[in-house]
């Protein structure tokens, strides 16, 4: 049998890193057009191209039945009233499911299927969330500390970012009187234009 490398990995739930695996960084500039409040986005970006999250993926094997996995480290913060979040994606191979395990912090997973139905679940340490196939998923940090979680998926799941980049999620997670609140994007946009 072909040896798998790395078969054993040590990860750090505090920093969201995996020993020996490279991390990629996503900054505000990578999420241009994703946040609902464009004025707030521009104001934040003018100040600093802040780091929003890191992703550290491990790809131990390819081929039928193989699994890949990664840790994401999503910083706390907001653009306007909308909490820091990941880009979100469908899997390029639509039937691919994924399993998320919360390691640190508190947040929400936003889901949206291809028919546009949306829902959300919490993600917290020692909780797991099953992401079904054919469903776009985005993670949102609603707490005061980094949100760290592990995601495990079929090796050939792939990331389709284009669909979300075009149409975005129909729901947003925003601060309403200090409470993280899931709202329709259109309703949130109306609150921004009210004087
Ligand atoms: C999870 C997994 C990764 C994904 C990461 C960040 O760890 O789903 O595959 O890359 O979250 O999300 P995104 O790729 O949408 O920025
Ligand atoms: Zn995924």
7 pLDDT band, cuts 50/70/90, is confident
Mean pLDDT of 164-187: 97
* Ligand 2 center–CA 175 separation, angstroms: 25
Structure tokens at 15: 């920093």
Which atom from ligand 1 is nearest to the alpha carbon of 149? 7
| Average pLDDT value for the chain | 95
1 pLDDT band, cuts 50/70/90, is very low
Question: With contact defined as beta carbons under 8 Å apart, do 18 and 71 qualify?
Answer: yes
For the entire predicted model, the pTM comes to 0.96
Mean pLDDT of 20-26: 94
Is residue 132 included in any domain, yes or no? yes
Structure tokens at 20: 């020996």
Enclosing domain of residue 167 = 12-193
pLDDT tens string 38-64: 999 999 999 999 999 999 999 999 999
4 pLDDT band, cuts 50/70/90, is low
Residue 94 Rama label (left phi>0; alpha psi -120 to 50; beta): alpha
Mean pLDDT of 3-19: 85
161 pLDDT band, cuts 50/70/90, is very high
For 108, other C-beta atoms within 10 Å of its C-beta total: 23
Give Cβ neighbours of residue 153 (< 8 Å, ≥ 6 apart): 67, 68, 69, 91, 96, 97, 98, 99
* CATH of residue 136: 2.60.120.10
Structure tokens at 67: 């699994």
Ligand 1 within 6 A of 88 CB? yes
* Ligand 1 center–CA 116 separation, angstroms: 20
- State which of 58, 74, 138, 139 you would mutate to test the pocket of ligand 1, scoring each by most atoms of that ligand within 8 A of its C-beta: 139
Is cis: bond before 32, omega within 30 of 0? Answer: no
Question: With contact defined as beta carbons under 8 Å apart, do 149 and 71 qualify?
Answer: yes
Is residue 4 included in any domain, yes or no? no
Looking at residue 6, its pLDDT comes to 76
Is residue 106 included in any domain, yes or no? yes
Is residue 81 included in any domain, yes or no? yes
Ligand nearest to the CA of 139: 1
Is residue 7 included in any domain, yes or no? no
Is residue 3 included in any domain, yes or no? no
Does pLDDT of 3 surpass 90?
Answer: no
Q: What residue owns the CA closest to ligand 1's atom 2?
A: 151
* Ligand 2 center–CA 159 separation, angstroms: 7
Mean pLDDT of 123-136: 98
Mean pLDDT of 63-78: 97
Is residue 1 included in any domain, yes or no? no
Looking at residue 8, its pLDDT comes to 86
Looking at residue 27, its pLDDT comes to 98
Question: What are the E-state strand segments in the chain?
Answer: 11-12, 17-18, 23-27, 51-58, 67-74, 78-79, 82-83, 90-91, 98-104, 107-113, 118-123, 128-131, 135-141, 147-154, 159-160, 171-176, 179-184
Which atom from ligand 1 is nearest to the alpha carbon of 88? 15
User: How many domains, the chain?
Assistant: 1
- State which of 86, 99, 101 you would mutate to test the pocket of ligand 1, scoring each by most atoms of that ligand within 8 A of its C-beta: 86
Structure tokens at 122: 């919490």
Structure tokens at 29: 């500039």
Which atom from ligand 1 is nearest to the alpha carbon of 26? 16
């Amino acid at each position: 049998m072909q040896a798998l490398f790395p078969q054993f990995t040590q990860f750090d739930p505090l920093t969201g890193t995996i020993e020996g695996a490279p991390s990629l960084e996503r900054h505000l500039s990578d999420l241009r057009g994703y946040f609902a409040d464009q004025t707030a986005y521009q104001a934040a970006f003018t100040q600093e191209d802040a780091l929003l999250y890191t992703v550290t993926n491990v790809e131990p094997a390819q081929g039928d039945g193989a699994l890949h996995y990664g840790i994401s480290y999503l910083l706390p913060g907001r653009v306007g009233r909308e909490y820091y979040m990941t880009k979100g994606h469908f899997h390029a191979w639509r039937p691919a499911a994924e399993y998320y395990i919360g390691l640190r912090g508190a947040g929400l997973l936003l889901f949206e299927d291809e028919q546009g139905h949306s829902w959300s679940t919490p993600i917290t340490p020692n909780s797991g969330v099953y992401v079904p196939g054919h469903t776009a998923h985005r993670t949102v940090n609603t707490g005061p500390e980094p949100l760290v979680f592990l995601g495990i998926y079929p090796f050939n799941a792939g990331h389709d970012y284009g669909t979300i980049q075009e149409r975005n999620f129909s729901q947003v997670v925003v601060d309403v009187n200090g409470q993280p609140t899931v709202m329709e994007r259109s309703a949130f946009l109306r609150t921004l234009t009210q004087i």
